[in-house]
Amino acid sequence: MSATLHVIFGPSGAGKTTYAHAFARREKAVAFILDEWMAKLFAPDMPDPIEYDWMIERVQRCEAQIWSTAAGVLATGTPVILDIGLLRRADRARVREIAAAADLPLQFHFVTADVEVRRARVAERNVVKGDNFAIEVSPAMFDFAEGVFEHPSPEELAGAIVSESE
C-alpha cells in the first residue's frame, strides 16, 4: 500500500503550519512546509522591499526540491504532508494531477478561519516570532495573499478534511 500524500491549504494565517506539524506528529508523517524552506534558504538574502519576481523564482526552486524529496519519502511508505501555499484552484488541481499520475493516495486538508482572526494571528506572529514563525508577513503581504487566494468550491472540498480554527 502506498503512503498518503496529505496536502494542507487555506488562506494566510489560518493555522496551516500548526495543523501540519500536529498532524505530522500524530500520524508519524514527514511535513514539508514551504515557508520554513524559504526562511532557511533565502530570508537572509531577501530584498527590502520584497520583489515579486525574486520571491516567485525561489518559491519555484523550493517547491521543486520539496516534490523531489517528498517523492523519496513516499517511496519508503511514509506519509507526507505538504504545506506549500496552493492559493489558487489551478495550483490544487496541479497537485491532483501529479498525485494521479504517480498513483498516490491523496488527502486534501482545508484549514481556515475568519479573516479578522487570521489578520490578528499574523500580526501577533510577526511580533512573538514563536515556533511557527518563518517569515514576517506584512499587512500588505497579507492583503496580497487575500487577493490571490481562491476559496475552494463545494466540489473541490468533496472528500477534503475541513478544519476551522478560532
Q: Where are the domains of the chain?
A: 5-164
Distance from C-alpha of 16 to C-alpha of 149, rounded to nearest angstrom: 14
The CATH superfamily assigned to 5-164 is P-loop containing nucleotide triphosphate hydrolases (3.40.50.300)
In the predicted model, what is the mean pLDDT of the chain? Answer: 88
* pTM across the whole model: 0.86
Given a contact cutoff of 8 angstroms between Cβ atoms, the answer to whether 52 and 100 are in contact is no
DSSP conformation letters of 88-143: SHHHHHHHHHHHHHTT--EEEEEEE--HHHHHHHHHHHHHH--TT--S---HHHHH
Q: Which tens digits make up the pLDDT trace of 59-118?
A: 899 999 999 999 999 999 999 999 998 989 999 999 999 999 989 999 999 999 998 888
Q: Could you tell me the three cell numbers for 49?
A: 522591499
Q: Which tens digits make up the pLDDT trace of 124-153?
A: 776 766 666 556 677 777 788 888 899 999
Q: Which tens digits make up the pLDDT trace of 11-68?
A: 988 989 889 999 999 999 999 999 889 888 987 888 877 777 888 899 899 999 999 9
**Measured distance between the N- and C-terminal CA atoms of the chain, rounded to whole angstroms:** 36
pLDDT at residue number 67? 93
pLDDT at residue number 132? 63
Report helix, strand or coil for 84: coil
